[in-house]
Amino acid sequence: MKNYLFSRLRSPALALGALSIVSTGALAAADTNYQANDLVMFFRNPNGATGKDTVVAFSLGSTWDVFRRAATPSDPTFNTVISLGNINSLLTSTYGSDWTSRSSNLFAGAAGNVGATDNESTFVENGDYSRTVYISSPRTGAGTYGASNSAVRNVPSGASASSVVAGNIDGANSVLLSATSNPTALANAVTTLDTYNPISTNNIVGQAYGGIGSGVMGSVSSNTYAYGSISNVIRGLDLYRITPTTNNGTDGNTAWQNEYAIAKTYGGSGSVGSAYYLGTVTLSDNGDVNFAAVPEPSTYALLALAAAGFGAHIIRRRNRKF
């Protein structure tokens, strides 16, 4: 669609205008209720005075149909900012009307698991092998739009390790299958989201889901920043996709690492695996949750080319006047 639009627009200025329309469209994506394999965003306030015994969970949509698709160049949702909904009302009723200023206590993270968790399984669903996980890493400030600004999250190698992490994510999220609303507030006693995402009494985030060092959560900030077209962001969560191998970790199985060219996988060659960055989930101070997918590298090249051509056109016109 982009190529067609740009082939019909001969003026660089018009091409730039069309690009902004194609690249920043908003799509509603949140599920009415949790579905298996959804990415779940969750909040904890373990050391605060209000809501410390409650986890707020928000199913953001299918890991592959929303998030992986939006980072796949061949998909029509590629390079978009996707509106996932607003969570202000529940965060206010759970953690207080001043939840946006709880920078030392209120934490947010996200995780999802795809398919079976058995380390012998070679089941494939929508391009993701079983035990593929989607996890967040807290972003450090605004950074550069479309580029990760966080520590890449790793898990120990080996099929058993991948099964533990995937199984724990699946178990923690599956309690939402009985939830009657989305988002929802859950007592710590009825969910393992808090157990698998420990936070110390001095607000240090621990290992998540039995294998993800430094966890997946980050605290909200009392300072806001703009991230592309998204305003007043108080927490950015870079989203990573980590894939397992299909043969108990005896090789890297690069053949099925599809369009993403992932360097390593957990379960491969006895090494620590790393993840592929899909984009950034943002939380704004009004409760809006958005997902900014990875921009297409060629988009930047086109912007630069269009800008250069437009600049040269202006210079030529100016030169003709003298």
Q: What is the pLDDT of residues 231-289, one digit of tens each?
A: 999 999 999 988 765 443 343 333 333 333 333 444 444 344 457 789 999 999 999 99
Ramachandran area for residue 85 (φ above 0: left; ψ -120 to 50: alpha; else beta):
left
Residue 103 lies in a domain: yes
Total domains present in the chain: 1
pLDDT digits over 135-194, tens only? Answer: 999 999 999 999 999 988 877 766 677 788 999 999 999 999 999 999 999 999 999 999
Assess if residue 16 is contained within a domain: no
CA distances from 98 to 48, 49, 55, 225 (A): 12, 12, 17, 18
Q: Which helix (H) or strand (E) element contains residue 4? A: helix 2-8
**Cα gap 113→202, rounded to integer Å:** 29
Length of the chain: 322
Which of these, 215, 232, 199, 207, lies nearest to 105 by C-alpha position? 199
> Can you state the percent helix, strand and coil of the chain, rounding each to 5?
30, 25, 45
Is the residue at 63 inside a domain?
yes
Beta carbons within 10 angstroms of residue 223's beta carbon: 9
| Rounded-to-integer distance, Cα 129 and Cα 123, Å | 6
Residue 167 covered by a domain: yes
Residue ranges making up the domain that contains 95:
28-295
**How far from 204 is each of 42, 199, 217, CA to CA, in Å?**
17, 5, 10
* Residue at 268 is within a domain: yes
Closest CA to 63 of 44, 84, 43, 87: 84
